[in-house]
């Protein structure tokens, strides 16, 4: 439930006079899985109301881990983290589609290249948990004078990094205001 805080869930369930810290407060958990739950590869972010017991937090973690990874985060950063994780797929799909468009413009059939590009991206992303920061990995792929650095410079000229940042910040703002509508 984008934009709905655990405090708001308590108010919805128990009425305006409910206090989130009192004994009658619900033990609610707010969660945001991503679409990869369909293949049990999701990253689900969750947060819980202040009265949620350790046992119920463990149950929530177990439930969400059945469709991938489960990560408890502070509610104060929930909106920005949730949209970063939730929107990542659509942004990455857009980037991959752009890569494929370039190949099609050069005469390559989209289906011939799609799996190659996707599998390359999956392999590259698997390098991140190995320890290097994404900027270090990006630099390793883009040696001086090479094709990758040229492509990166063109993207920087076009403001792609700022566009990603602005898009995620706008999505987080939208998430915060969804509870108000």
pLDDT tens across 62-73, in order? Answer: 999 999 999 999
Residue 42 CB-density burial (10 A; 0-12 exposed, 13-18 middle, 19+ buried): buried
Provide the CATH topology of domain 6-73.
Rossmann fold (3.40.50)
What tokens does 78 get? Answer: 């929930």
Q: Where are the domains of the chain?
A: 6-73, 82-175
Take residue 162 and report the two structure tokens written for it.
């700022």
CA distance 119 to 117: 6
What CATH superfamily classification does 82-175 receive? ProC C-terminal domain-like (1.10.3730.10)
pLDDT given at position 6 = 81
Band (pLDDT 50/70/90 cuts) for residue 145 is very high
Number of alpha carbons in the 13 Å side-chain half-sphere of residue 32: 24
In the 8-state DSSP scheme, what is residue 71?
Answer: E
Which pLDDT belongs to residue 11?
A: 77
Compute the C-alpha angle 179/44/97, nearest 5°. 90
Q: Could you give the C-alpha distances from 47 to 40, 62, 85, 123, 176, in angstroms and in order?
A: 20, 14, 14, 30, 15
Residue 21's contacts (CB-CB under 8 Å, 6 or more residues apart) are 50, 51
What pTM was estimated for this model as a whole?
Answer: 0.80
């Amino acid at each position: 439930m984008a934009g709905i805080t655990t405090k708001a869930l308590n108010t919805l369930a128990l009425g305006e006079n409910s206090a989130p810290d009192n004994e009658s407060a619900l033990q609610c958990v707010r969660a945001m899985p991503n679409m990869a739950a369909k293949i049990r590869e999701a990253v689900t972010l969750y947060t819980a109301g202040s009265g949620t017991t350790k046992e119920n937090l463990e149950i929530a973690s177990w439930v969400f881990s059945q469709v991938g990874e489960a990560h408890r985060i502070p509610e104060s950063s929930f909106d920005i983290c949730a949209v970063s994780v939730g929107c990542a797929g659509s942004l990455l799909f857009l980037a991959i589609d752009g890569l494929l468009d370039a190949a099609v413009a050069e005469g390559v059939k989209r289906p011939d290249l799609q799996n190659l590009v996707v599998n390359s991206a999956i392999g590259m992303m698997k390098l991140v948990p190995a320890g290097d920061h994404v900027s270090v990995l990006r630099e390793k792929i883009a040696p001086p004078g090479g094709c990758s650095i040229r492509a990166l410079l063109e993207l920087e000229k076009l403001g792609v990094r700022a566009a990603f940042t602005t898009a995620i910040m706008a999505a987080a703002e939208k998430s915060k205001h969804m509870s108000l509508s």
